[in-house]
Amino acid sequence: MNQIKTARFRENAHDALVDKQLQAVLGKFSDGFPVKRAQAIARMPEFDALRDAARDIKNHALENLGAYLEEFEAKVVASGGKVHWCRDAEEARQTVLSICRDADAKTVTKSKSMIGEEVGINDFLEDNGVEPIETDLGEYIIQLRKEPPSHIIAPAIHLSKQQVADTFRDNHRNRVSDRPLESPRVMLDEAREELRGKFLGADVGLTGANMLIAETGSIVLVTNEGNAELTCGLPRVHVAMASIEKIVPTLEDASTVLRVLARSATGQDMSVYTSFVTGPRRSEDLDGPEEFHVVLLDNGRTELLASELREILRCIRCGSCINHCPVYEAIGGHAYGWIYPGPMGAVLTPGLLGMEVANHHPNASTLCGRCETVCPMRIPLPSLLRKWRERQFTAGVTPVTSRYGLKVWAALARNPRWYRGLTTITSALLAKVAGKTGRLRRLPLAGGWTGSRDMPAPQSQTFMAQWRRRTAARKPGSRPGRS
């Protein structure tokens, strides 16, 4: 399993902020995906209508999830495939391993799968004598470096090309050690050559699935590199791993989701390759695997389905919320300590790992709401983060200092006279301390906050005081707020 370091979020974030190399890479981040997304959406006037439709499709699918899952399974079986239901990560790992053992597999090629990351399939296979080989370029790079992905669609986005070059030099030992590896082009060609042989020699191909289609029993694979089709098309056995909420009813519904997926993710109108895989090769086919397996995983989804956090299950893993998150942009993906970073990760991670394990995530946000604005599935991410905060407070997970602070604030807020008195004194005091500059360089108990910015001093009088003065100046009998 990918090592879980979610509890170290504060330390991770701190380290990330002072990591010069990482900050240099993150500095370029907002010029990439967000700009491309905006351009793609400018070309699609119906984008908001598509988002509404996509949200409705998923809501309907989730509300009728049982029926659609059973229909999906029936169709997979009818087309010659097999569905393996798995309650948790351990069952999924064992299932994949047993399929690999039945196939007498030595190597497994893999196309990018977040479910594969979630259950930690690579380490598990390796520990059991089966060699997994990631084929998506980004995943391949981080596999060589033994790192988790730092972004759900751009797993190696935290690395500079120099780091990638060093990684290739360290790992591709059969090549001339001082070969030129300056440009990404050369590195890509080298990776392509290295992986060609792996594709051809693999016994099992392991993929994820962007969607499952109940109508046809198909799984949908979306890539730009073409690695998914080589992964599932060359070996004798194809295994697709997917969680249960990936289901959509029909091909038409999948089409609607596809129209928002690539635009939200990379800013393409359509990813280069979108493939609908249904069963193993037919008797007359000249290529394709002889076996087709779908590993269908719950791993906490049914609990989310039953909860007020259900809406996160609409997520299609486009990464748009991550691409627009100021917190992610500041600290990168690894700071989150697991595999799902950014806003979607902050909602999903405590749901999958437990609130105690990922207690910082829902709080590492100002609830600025950019994520909700760009989410193609209209997931109200800030509200869901707030729901986690409420749960934390109720369960007593919230740190003592925060609880104490909230209690003090609540007591004050319920006592307007105290509240007004205190704010009057404080704002006058702060204004005085700030002096002519109008800014405060340091604040007691808020050193972390003022460490990187100044606090603007209050305008000497509180709003309430100003309002009173304003209404007193008016004609007696006129009511405040009416003109």
| Residue numbers 167-186 binding other proteins by CB under 8 A | 184-185
Kindly give, in sequence order, each residue whose CB lies less than 8 Å from that of residue 240, ignoring residues fewer than 6 positions away. Answer: 206, 207, 208, 209, 219, 221, 232, 277, 292, 293, 294, 295
Q: Which of 155, 319, 341, 345 touches other proteins by CB under 8 A?
A: 155
Residue number with CB closer to other proteins (65 or 125): 65
Rounded least distance, CB 122 to other proteins, Å:
18
Rounded least distance, CB 281 to other proteins, Å:
6
d(C-alpha 206, C-alpha 7), whole Å: 31
Residue number with CB closer to other proteins (121 or 277): 277
d(C-alpha 78, C-alpha 74), whole Å: 6
Residues 182-241 contacting other proteins, CB under 8 A:
184-185, 187-188, 192, 195-196, 199-200, 214-218, 224-227, 229-230, 233-234
Q: Does 243 bind other proteins (CB under 8 A)?
A: no
Q: Which of 107, 278, 424, 471 touches other proteins by CB under 8 A?
A: 278
CB 204 within 8 A of CB 239: yes
- Longest Cα–Cα distance of the chain, Å, equals 92
User: Which pairing describes strands 107-110 and 247-248: parallel, antiparallel, or unpaired?
Assistant: unpaired
Q: What x-and-dash track marks residues 402-421 binding other proteins by CB under 8 A?
A: --------------------
Kindly give, in sequence order, each residue whose CB lies less than 8 Å from that of residue 220, ignoring residues fewer than 6 positions away. Answer: 209, 210, 211, 212, 213, 254, 258, 274, 275, 276, 277
Q: Does 154 bind other proteins (CB under 8 A)?
A: yes
Residue number with CB closer to other proteins (233 or 369): 233
Residues 18-47 contacting other proteins, CB under 8 A:
25, 28, 32, 44-46
Rounded least distance, CB 367 to other proteins, Å:
27
Q: Does 50 bind other proteins (CB under 8 A)?
A: yes
d(C-alpha 122, C-alpha 128), whole Å: 10
Q: Which of 161, 172, 175, 389 touches other proteins by CB under 8 A?
A: 161
Rounded least distance, CB 124 to other proteins, Å:
17
Rounded least distance, CB 17 to other proteins, Å:
21
Stretch that binds other proteins, among 49-57, 324-332, 337-345, 455-463 (CB under 8 A): 49-57
Hey, what are 235's tokens?
Answer: 């070996």
Kindly give, in sequence order, each residue whose CB lies less than 8 Å from that of residue 74, ignoring residues fewer than 6 positions away. Answer: 217
Q: Rounded to 10 degrees, what is the CA torsion of 147, 313, 332, 453? A: -150
Residues 318-347 contacting other proteins, CB under 8 A:
none
CB 231 within 8 A of CB 110: yes
Q: Which of 22, 26, 62, 309 touches other proteins by CB under 8 A?
A: 62
Q: Does 101 bind other proteins (CB under 8 A)?
A: no
CB 295 within 8 A of CB 95: yes
Residue number with CB closer to other proteins (271 or 424): 271
Residue number with CB closer to other proteins (217 or 343): 217
Rounded least distance, CB 357 to other proteins, Å:
21
Give the other-Cβ count within 10 Å of 389's Cβ: 17
Give the other-Cβ count within 10 Å of 39's Cβ: 11
Q: Does 84 bind other proteins (CB under 8 A)?
A: yes
Q: What x-and-dash track marks residues 280-299 binding other proteins by CB under 8 A?
A: xxx-xxxxx-------x-x-
d(C-alpha 23, C-alpha 18), whole Å: 8
Q: Which of 18, 42, 176, 306 touches other proteins by CB under 8 A?
A: 306
Kindly give, in sequence order, each residue whose CB lies less than 8 Å from that of residue 55, ignoring residues fewer than 6 positions away. Answer: 314, 377, 378
